Amino acid sequence: MNSSTGDSDGGLVQLPPMYVKSEKSTCTICCEEGDGYHFGAEACRACAAFFRRSVSLGKKYVCRADGKCQITANIRCMCRACRFSRCLEVGMNPAGVQQRRDTIGKRETPKTPPLLPIKVEPLPIGHSPLLSSTSSSFSLREEPSSSSPLQINFKPSEETMPILERMRQNYAKMDNGRSIIHRREGESLFGQRIPRSVNYKEAATVSSKEIALVVDWVSWCFDDFQQLSSEQKKVLFRNFFMAFTMLESSYLCHINNREDVIILPSGDYIDLNNLETFYHETGVKLDSVQKVSAEDAAKIFKQSFESYRNASIRPMIREKVDVYEFFTLCTCLFWDFGLDGQDEQSIEIGRIVKEKVFKELSLYLRFVKKSEDPSVRIGSLVTLLPGIQRSVRRIQEDIEISNVFNIYAPSEEFYNIINGKFI
């Protein structure tokens, strides 16, 4: 049986057999009967076609009702601005829309296909003039049932989900900064950035540039973070940064439907099908005679990349993690406990923040995602965290091995970033 849920337009995600749902789904945009997983979200054919046309033609819609229109199939002329905003809210990814299907052609080798321009930010800020002019807020109604006879209006906002919504908005702000700091020399700030495969030195440069951005993002997201001493802030951030890097890359792979690459915050990627390109600037002498080739380095560390894919990227894809769930995982990783040098105040603040975020997510899951038992979904999400932490430990071990045996030459700065010995 073919596991594809796709059609001739190329807009559907190709899912492995284990990921394909056997039961009929519901369109998360208009609540009609769904037609599978389109562009990163459950959708009917009509909404998938609308999203594909809107993106491919570069349509800009304006709502005349302040972004509060009802989006249901029984409305004859539903607002296109609110419909498109709803598509983005539920996780539909513009990068999944193929502009020209005939440009790739046949491949005789298993080389990684070129990436479409990557959508790094999970969701745009609804009222930001830098992004879409349409509203990103939405309102879904809890359908009447025997167990829930009430009709409940729930709109993710700073009032209903203050922490998670702030994280979403500030993530988009951080992403605007990324478009500037990761711009290549001679590259237009306003042009479309074309992703490319990078080597380890270029990946290290991306990581070093990310630190200041992620520090600011964390500060913007959590008011309670400001209560901590400078030293306690460092304890949390040193523990968080690499875990966040691994988590975010997995999430970016998920929303771009790619498990053959590791997508970096810059939009560039590590090509897992051709790992020697990642090490192509090796050539470090072992005993003043022998050199380690890029091919040999790739063979040595190939299993580590495969482990990361199995422990983090594929589970993220399998669980179809959405934007608010992603930020919940970020919260859990940041407000960790039992860290060397961590004091009781930091642990207690972290406990309170995580409790608030879980309550926000529970409401979102119940009234927006229509989950009958949010606790089961939250439990499934939390099980993703050990895989992230294992991946961090694995890369720390690898860089130690590289230093001892001179397999490749990471800079001291990158070594310290990996091991949390910065700031």
The two tokens of residue 223 are 């008011």
CA distance 107 to 87: 33
CA distance 363 to 380: 16
The two tokens of residue 51 are 């999203």
Homologous superfamily assigned to 1-98: Erythroid Transcription Factor GATA-1, subunit A (3.30.50.10)
Three-state DSSP class for residue 355: helix
Q: What confidence score (pLDDT) does residue 233 get? A: 97
CA distance 129 to 102: 35
Residue 371 dihedral angles phi and psi, to the nearest 5° = -80, 130
Q: What confidence score (pLDDT) does residue 158 get? A: 87
- Ordered by start, the domain boundaries in the chain are 1-98, 153-418
Q: What confidence score (pLDDT) does residue 120 get? A: 52
CA distance 237 to 422: 10
With b meaning 16 or more CB within 10 Å and e meaning fewer, what string describes 244-269?
bbbbbbbbbbbbbbbbbbbbbbbbbb
Q: What confidence score (pLDDT) does residue 128 get? A: 29
In the DSSP assignment, the letter for residue 291 is B
CA distance 395 to 323: 26
The two tokens of residue 291 are 């050199």
H/E element, 359: helix 344-367
CA distance 307 to 189: 36
CATH number for region 153-418: 1.10.565.10
Three-state DSSP class for residue 182: coil
CA distance 258 to 250: 9
Ranges under pLDDT 50 in the chain: 1-23, 99-110, 121, 123-151, 282-290
CA distance 415 to 395: 10
- 66 burial (CB, 10 Å; 0-12 / 13-18 / 19+) is exposed
